Chain A
Amino acid sequence: MKQVVQLNINDSPYEVMVAPNETLADVVRRKLGMTGTKLGCEQGDCGACTILIDGRSHLSCITLAVASEGKEIVTIEGLEKDGKLDPIQQAILEKQGVQCGICTPGVIMSAKGLLNENPEPSHAEIVVGMSGNLCRCTGYEKIFDAVEAVAAGEYDDEKTSQAGAE
């Protein structure tokens, strides 16, 4: 039995007809055409489908769309603002944390969630905090470097310009 669900994704409201057994990943990808969110294992193991719900990293392959009403959902498509990449996106690019790219949206959303919870993680906290995201290409170190760089403020324009203004 399908029902209309109101979803708030990347600060925009969406009204979608969904069946109870549709996951948030499927709705976002197939019904809303936002294919940035990837599916790998579809059972919680790989992290490719990671999105933010109310600021924290969730696995959209094991989240029901009907259960996501009234929550603030952010997908990879929601990070770029006014043509400018989010610091973590920029860092992943520059530190070469991308190769084939299938894990990348999940890695980035997971890093966002980690930094929301812990803005200055240690290297060890980054390694543990990113352990839910599998990557078969990069060997992880470059991903960790990118998260570390963002945590250290290297990609924080505002901070730099504020510091400059003082």
Chain B
Amino acid sequence: MYLPSFQYLAPKDTGELASLLSDHGDKARILSGGTDLLVQMKSPGLRPDFVIDISGLDELSGINFDAKTGLVIGSAAKLDDIMEMPVVKEKYFALWQSIETIGARQIRTMGSLGGNICNASPAADTPPALVALSAEVSIAGAKGDRVMPVEEFIRGNRQTALKKGEYLKSITLPVPEKNSGSAYHHFRVRGGMEIAMVAVAVQVVLEKNNKTIKDASIALGVVGPTPIRADDAAKILVGQKPSEDLLQTVSQACADISKPIDDFRASAEYRKEILQVLVEEAFDEAYIQVAGDSK
């Protein structure tokens, strides 16, 4: 299985990257880990004239946590390196879980977070977690930087907000409020090496010293072309103490706004059922992280 021909370009810094992108525009593709790009180029369809390798750019590979500004992850940072940062498991558990589930060890060693987002597959694992954790992306280009939430960046199946000449610079996750927890739950028929059928990420914040929910966010994955931020459903939780009835109402609200597909792997109806179970499971796990025990 051969790759089509292309010209390989390895910019030395982001300045050169920006000028290569503005020179070559739509004829160029960024190569980070290559675990999506090179696989796609091996099958008919994707034929870029230029492949611009960003994997050697230190400027795009950093992972830094600051107690005020939060976690800033360079777009080319490797999935494995992100998982290994203790702060990720401690404060951004949903992201940690979403990375842990990706591919196999080789894929996490090679693949980057930026690649997972920019590839914009409806089944990608990290976007729902990033959305629930209110992550924002920084986009860079010749005309300067722009910042937007992940849910706005991913526009559709394999579509992002990147304009000609732009690239994804970094992903920023704000510092979670005190007393918060998060979780990512997904459903696959087999254990590994397979894409998710439904995925849910939840973040909850509890009031100090009591188990009332102060704030919550829910993101639904694979049940539409892009991750869905279920704000109306999450609002139902605010000011409440968890109960079975409450969670049923919330998970029903999530199912109502989901738009899963019907395909050979599962019917839309089945996906909605599973979605509701995942909402409750992910909520429970996030809640227990803070409250210490179930409902």
Which of A's residues lie within 8 Å of B, judged by CB?
1, 19-23, 42-45, 47, 50, 56-59, 61-64, 66-67, 110, 113-114, 117, 128-129, 131-133
* New A-B contacts (6) at CB < 8 Å, excluding given A59-B35, A67-B55: A42-B42, A43-B43, A61-B1, A64-B53, A66-B8, A113-B109
Tell whether, in the assembled complex, residue A45 and residue B193 are in contact, meaning their CB atoms are under 8 Å apart.
yes
Tell whether, in the assembled complex, residue A62 and residue B1 are in contact, meaning their CB atoms are under 8 Å apart.
no
B294 at the interface (CB under 8 A from A): no
Tell whether, in the assembled complex, residue A20 and residue B110 are in contact, meaning their CB atoms are under 8 Å apart.
no
B218 at the interface (CB under 8 A from A): no
- Distance A67 CA – B53 CA, assembled complex (angstroms): 8
Identify which of A50, A57, A62, A131 contacts B192 (C-beta below 8 A): A131
- Distance A64 CA – B7 CA, assembled complex (angstroms): 12
B31-69: contact bitstring with A at CB < 8 Å (1 yes, 0 no)?
Answer: 100110011001100000001010110000000000000
Tell whether, in the assembled complex, residue A20 and residue B1 are in contact, meaning their CB atoms are under 8 Å apart.
no
Q: Which one of B1, B55, B192 has the greatest number of beta carbons of chain A within 10 Å? A: B1
Tell whether, in the assembled complex, residue A43 and residue B39 are in contact, meaning their CB atoms are under 8 Å apart.
yes
How far in angstroms is the closest Cβ of chain B from A140?
12
Tell whether, in the assembled complex, residue A21 and residue B1 are in contact, meaning their CB atoms are under 8 Å apart.
no
Contact residues of B: prevailing secondary structure: loop
| Chain B residues with CB under 8 A of A22 | 3
B4 at the interface (CB under 8 A from A): yes
Identify which of A19, A56, A63, A132 contacts B34 (C-beta below 8 A): A63
| 14 cross-chain CB contacts under 8 A | A45-B193, A56-B109, A57-B109, A59-B107, A59-B110, A61-B1, A62-B35, A63-B34, A64-B38, A110-B106, A128-B105, A131-B191, A132-B104, A132-B106
Known contacts A63-B110, A66-B8: A43-B53 contact under CB 8 Å: no
How far in angstroms is the closest Cβ of chain B from A149?
20
- Distance A128 CA – B110 CA, assembled complex (angstroms): 17
B264 at the interface (CB under 8 A from A): no
How far in angstroms is the closest Cβ of chain B from A62?
4
B6 at the interface (CB under 8 A from A): yes
| Chain B residues with CB under 8 A of A47 | 104, 106
- Distance A114 CA – B108 CA, assembled complex (angstroms): 12
- Distance A57 CA – B111 CA, assembled complex (angstroms): 12
Tell whether, in the assembled complex, residue B8 and residue A50 are in contact, meaning their CB atoms are under 8 Å apart.
no
How far in angstroms is the closest Cβ of chain B from A61?
8
Identify which of B8, B35, B43, B106 contacts A57 (C-beta below 8 A): B106
| Chain A residues with CB under 8 A of B240 | none
CB nearest to A57 among chain B residues: B106
Tell whether, in the assembled complex, residue B105 and residue A113 are in contact, meaning their CB atoms are under 8 Å apart.
yes
Tell whether, in the assembled complex, residue A43 and residue B42 are in contact, meaning their CB atoms are under 8 Å apart.
yes
B103 at the interface (CB under 8 A from A): yes
- Distance A138 CA – B191 CA, assembled complex (angstroms): 19
- Distance A79 CA – B51 CA, assembled complex (angstroms): 33
Tell whether, in the assembled complex, residue B8 and residue A20 are in contact, meaning their CB atoms are under 8 Å apart.
yes
CB nearest to A1 among chain B residues: B7
Tell whether, in the assembled complex, residue A110 and residue B8 are in contact, meaning their CB atoms are under 8 Å apart.
no
- Distance A47 CA – B35 CA, assembled complex (angstroms): 13
B177-192: contact bitstring with A at CB < 8 Å (1 yes, 0 no)?
Answer: 0000000000000011
| Chain A residues with CB under 8 A of B43 | 43
| Chain B residues with CB under 8 A of A44 | 35, 39, 103, 106-107
Identify which of A61, A63, A64 contacts B8 (C-beta below 8 A): A64
| Chain A residues with CB under 8 A of B191 | 131
| Chain B residues with CB under 8 A of A67 | 8, 10, 31, 34, 53, 55-56
- Distance A133 CA – B111 CA, assembled complex (angstroms): 17
B1-22: contact bitstring with A at CB < 8 Å (1 yes, 0 no)?
Answer: 1111111101000000000000
Tell whether, in the assembled complex, residue B39 and residue A132 are in contact, meaning their CB atoms are under 8 Å apart.
no
| Chain A residues with CB under 8 A of B104 | 47, 131-133
